[in-house]
Structure 1
Amino acid sequence: MRQIILDTETTGLRVEDGNRILEIAAVEMIDRKLSAPERHLHRYINPERDSEEGALNVHGLTTEFLADKPKFADIVDEFLQFVAGAELIIHNAPFDVGFLDEELGRLGRGRIGDYVAGVVDTLKMAKDNFPGKRNSLDALCDRYEIDRSGRTLHGALIDCELLSEVYLAMTRGQDSLLIDFLADGGSGDPVADAARRAARKPRIVTRPNAEEAAEHAAYLDELDKIVKGDCLWRSYEPKPVTEAEAA
């Protein structure tokens, strides 16, 4: 699967006020692995207007710096070719999609949804997973222990790189059943696969010690809060190893 982690910086928060895109970054990921840097897209854009003071304080890209940069019309073909057919991963997707749709609309090029396979909003994912908690990109980096020390000002490229790590952390395990099946040599023939599994040696299972079981229980407590009840994994809780058993 080809996915594009995407971020923009803009002259202000409201597209309705005539604000424009002034930086765009798109980082390619194929089958949950980031492509080499040369496969990424990063462009500064002349927005043909000044940034609002609040936005300038966030991204630090001055009108003077952007004056000799290409306009969106100059990079639109390159951008659309890069994202074509991919699934976009965006934090607070309605914001960026709104600006992209406005820029494309100015050029009579339709909407971003006309060119991509879909859009994943990691902010919505985070709110679903961590209701009532802060779910900004910075907060998620801290929650997943992702180093963001290099992020002093907001920049589209570094935000994409951080978001790629956050997304992988948030979705870790979603494909585990498929991955296990493929790694196990599943052929797609249920009879042959069942016979092969029956013939192999049993797996060695190591039971958790008391400390590991306590950490696991604390994690399940957090899941209970999210689902507002007992999570499914409660029925699979391991029993801690006693000192007598360990001896």
Structure 2
Amino acid sequence: MLDTLKMARTMHPGQRNSLDALCKRYDIDNSSRTLHGALLDSEILAEVYLAMTGGQTALMLSSQDNDSSSSAASHASSRQRVALAPGQLRVIRPSETEWEAHQKKLDMIRGKSGGECAWDKLNG
């Protein structure tokens, strides 16, 4: 669980960090937020969180992002900040160390769940 208010206060000290203020700061449409509603607020906060953590605004990947033949150089360059057009998604590929840590975590989950992860069935 993450405290997005704490994150916002750390990222923007001395500034207003209400949901409305964060929407304005990150240019997120909250015009449908006329009353406080948990469901709507959580959906808006999800967009704010994505913007606060790197500018990702969508959860869709293109088929070119699945190309496993990328070189280490392209992995390194994908970590650099790049100005993106609206609607364009920044993809940050894991380093070799991060990938290995991820695989170890999956192995641990598989061990606790009797040898399978739900996503193993989807990918294989």
TM-score, length-scaled by structure 2:
0.46
More strand by share: 1
Q: Higher relative contact order at CA 8 Å, sep ≥6: structure 1 or structure 2? A: 1
TM-score, length-scaled by structure 1:
0.24
